[in-house]
Amino acid sequence: MATCHHPQTLIDGEGPERIQRTRPGLLQKEANRANSESPLDIIQLVLNNCPMETKTATTIFEVLTSEARLSIFRLLVKYAPNGLVAGDIARMLDLPKTNLSFHLKTIVHSGLASMEREGRNTRYRANIPLMLETIAYLTAECCSGHPERCLAYRAESGVGPEFLPTCCEDKKKPRG
């Protein structure tokens, strides 16, 4: 179970498999979630229990206003959870390495990605929980508590329900 112990810290899991995240999102213990039974359950608990602050959301949106940074972040999301080394990102997006370095530093500083040294290379990974938290922040008060409006917009958008936070109507139903 994930609980919010402090506005800047999230604890995922229990016992020896516990993972601590420091917002805005760098993993303190790297964990491969590919074998996890339900990683989205943990993420959803985080989204429901620890709402994003407006200042954090503003920082994220400022970082993503650059076309280059948005392209880099989307590429990292595509290659999650393994991420990519800087040279591969530069090659795939046809960006000069000096420009890429500047943009990656900004993305990492915002918390949207983490970096890890691998010998002479640096691997970058998208912070998927923070991305989902940002989506939840945008949709948290959708339609002022009128679920019928939310449901109509969701159907019109074409985005699968698994990518959207629970809707007003869903929050009223008991879970179990």
CATH for 111: 1.10.10.10
Chain mean pLDDT for the chain: 75
Cα separation, 15 vs 69, in Å, equals: 37
Specify the range with the lowest mean pLDDT, choosing from 8-12, 121-125, 157-161. Answer: 8-12
pLDDT band with cut points at 50, 70 and 90 for residue 7: very low
List of long-range contacts for 158-167, beta carbons under 8 Å, 24+ apart: 162/40, 163/135, 164/135, 164/139, 165/44, 165/47, 165/132, 165/135, 165/136, 165/139, 165/140, 166/44, 166/48, 167/142
Cα separation, 157 vs 176, in Å, equals: 28
CB 132 within 8 A of CB 43: yes
Question: Does pLDDT of 48 surpass 70?
Answer: no
Q: Decide if 137 is inside a domain.
A: no
Q: Decide if 51 is inside a domain.
A: no
Q: Report pLDDT for 146.
A: 79
Number of domains in the chain: 2
Q: Report pLDDT for 72.
A: 98
125 and 158 assigned to the same domain = no
Question: Does pLDDT of 126 surpass 60?
Answer: yes
In DSSP terms, 26 is beta-bridged to 22
Q: Decide if 169 is inside a domain.
A: yes
Q: Decide if 3 is inside a domain.
A: no
Q: Please state whether the peptide bond connecting residue 147 to the residue before it is cis, i.e. omega within 30 degrees of 0.
A: no
Question: Does pLDDT of 110 surpass 80?
Answer: yes
Interstrand relation of 113-118 and 84-85 (parallel, antiparallel or unpaired): unpaired
pLDDT band with cut points at 50, 70 and 90 for residue 6: very low
Q: Report pLDDT for 49.
A: 56
118 and 68 assigned to the same domain = yes
Question: Does pLDDT of 102 surpass 50?
Answer: yes
Domain that holds residue 171: 142-176
